[in-house]
Chain A
Amino acid sequence: QKEVEQDPGPLSVPEGAIVSLNCTYSNSAFQYFMWYRQYSRKGPELLMYTYSSGNKEDGRFTAQVDKSSKYISLFIRDSQPSDSATYLCAMSKISNYQLIWGAGTKLIIKP
Chain B
Amino acid sequence: DVKVTQSSRYLVKRTGEKVFLECVQDMDHENMFWYRQDPGLGLRLIYFSYDVKMKEKGDIPEGYSVSREKKERFSLILESASTNQTSMYLCASSFVGASSGNTIYFGEGSWLTVV
Residue ranges of A at the interface with B (Cβ–Cβ < 8 Å): 8, 31-32, 34, 36, 41-46, 49, 51, 88, 92, 94-99, 101-104
Q: A-side binding surface: helix, strand, loop or mixed?
A: loop
Q: CA separation between A31 and B88, bound complex, in Å?
A: 29
- In the bound complex, CA of A104 to CA of B106 (Å): 16
Nearest residue (CB) in A for B91 is A43
Given known pairs A41-B111, A97-B96, A102-B42, the reply for A92 and B102 (CB within 8 Å) is yes
The CA of A102 and the CA of B48, in the complex, are separated in Å by 19
Binding site for A on B (CB under 8 A): 4, 31, 40, 42-43, 45, 48, 50, 56, 58, 88, 90, 92, 94, 96, 99-109, 111
Residues on A with beta carbons closer than 8 Å to the beta carbon of B103: 32, 34, 46, 49
Can you name the residue of chain A whose Cβ is closest to the Cβ of B9? Answer: A41
| Distance in angstroms between the alpha carbons of A49 and B99 in the assembled complex | 9
Given contacts A97-B48, A97-B96, A98-B48, contact A103 B102 (CB under 8 A): no
Contacting residues, chain A, for B105 (C-beta < 8 A)? 46
Closest 8 A-B residue pairs measured CB to CB? A32-B101, A43-B106, A103-B42, A101-B43, A92-B102, A43-B109, A43-B108, A44-B106
B72 to chain A, nearest CB (A): 17
Count contacts between A and B, CB distance < 8 Å.
59
Shortest C-beta distance, A46 to chain B (Å), equals 6
A42 touching B109 by the CB < 8 A rule?
yes
| Residue contact A97 to B90, C-beta cutoff 8 Å | no
Q: How far is the CA of A95 from the CA of B31 in the complex (A)?
A: 12
Q: Beyond the given A41-B109, A102-B42, please list 11 additional residue pairs across the A-B interface where CB-CB is below 8 A.
A: A8-B40, A41-B88, A43-B90, A43-B92, A51-B101, A94-B101, A95-B96, A97-B31, A97-B56, A97-B102, A104-B42
Q: Which residues of B contact A95 (CB under 8 A)?
A: 96
User: Assuming A43-B90, A97-B31, A97-B96, is B101 touching A31 (CB within 8 A)?
Assistant: yes
Name the distance in Å between B97's Cβ and chain A's nearest Cβ. Answer: 10
Closest to A95 in B: B96
Contact (Cβ within 8 A) B108 A51? no
